[in-house]
Amino acid sequence: MTIEPQFFEARDGVRLAWREIGEGRPLILLHGLFSSGEVNWIKFGTSARIAAEGYRVIMPDLRVHGSSDAPHEEEYYPPDVLVRDLEDLVAHFALTDFDLGGFSLGARTSVRAVVAGMKPHRLILGGMGLAGLAGWQRRGQFFKRAIAEYETAKRGDDTWLSIQFMKTMKVDRIAAGHLLDSFTDTPPEALAALTMPVLVVCGEQDQDNGSAPDLVAALADARLATIPGTHMSSVTQPELGEAMAAFLTA
């Protein structure tokens, strides 16, 4: 399935893309680092599965990703810029009652948005554990190293697969470096802001962002769905859409 992007302007004038499928209750889904709405949610049928339950699934491309702009100037990457972009998307659609979800970077952006005051009715955190929220700096250093080793990494190096994905997705390395600097940690005590029902869905071999059960234990109203796969492969599994659809319609 191919869905053509539509565009809006963020508050700083950067052009951002989104795709959508379905009609009904709005659900915003945020993709992972170096991915896109199309690859994360459309390509493997996740968004279609959720839309079949009566949802309007809105899938933005984060800045520097997919069809969205990737400016090189540092001024376009203040702390938590992706949260501002999400706020601008919600304002663009004038949404007041909606659900929110994300995978990996999309999950941590969703958490940051709730901590900043956004109030989705339900929240989905994919590919995320407690350490991925509280200890972003360690994970961020890995991706900075991937950018630095873009031309030199060899098969078998720990950055190899991430670099191949970056090449496939044609990631702008200058813009990506600035974006990585905009990410901030979420200390465990800040998770008290997550009072809504939360689904934590994670691959059984995925420890990239720490322990998903530890994240569930830190939240007021959370449940865990374990699906097949690693961090990279779990988004390709039909079980991801099934778990999300079951949570949203429970």
Task: Give the CATH number of the domain where residue 215 resides.
Answer: 3.40.50.1820
DSSP code per residue over 100-158: EEEETHHHHHHHHHHHTT---SSEEEES--HHHHHTHHHHHHHHHHHHHTTTT--TTST
Instruction: Record the tokens describing residue 72, joined without a space.
Output: 């090189």
Query: For the residues 136-146, what does the mean pLDDT come to?
Result: 88
* pLDDT tier, 201 (very low <50, low <70, confident <90, very high otherwise): very high
Whether 148 maps to a domain, the answer reads: yes
Whether 195 maps to a domain, the answer reads: yes
* pLDDT tier, 15 (very low <50, low <70, confident <90, very high otherwise): very high
Whether 215 maps to a domain, the answer reads: yes
Judge contact between 106 and 36, C-beta under 8 A.
no
pLDDT digits (tens, 9 = 90+) for 25-61: 999 999 999 999 999 999 999 999 999 999 999 999 9
Give the pLDDT of residue 92: 98
Instruction: Record the tokens describing residue 161, joined without a space.
Output: 């697969």
Give the pLDDT of residue 224: 98
Alpha-carbon separation of residue 5 from 15, 43, 60, 68, 156 (angstroms):
12, 14, 9, 9, 36
Number of domains in the chain: 1
Whether 98 maps to a domain, the answer reads: yes
Whether 35 maps to a domain, the answer reads: yes
pLDDT at 137 > cutoff 80? no
Whether 1 maps to a domain, the answer reads: no
Give the pLDDT of residue 140: 86
Judge contact between 213 and 88, C-beta under 8 A.
no
Which domain range does residue 220 map to? 6-249
For residue 185, give the nearest of 97, 101, 108 by alpha carbon: 108
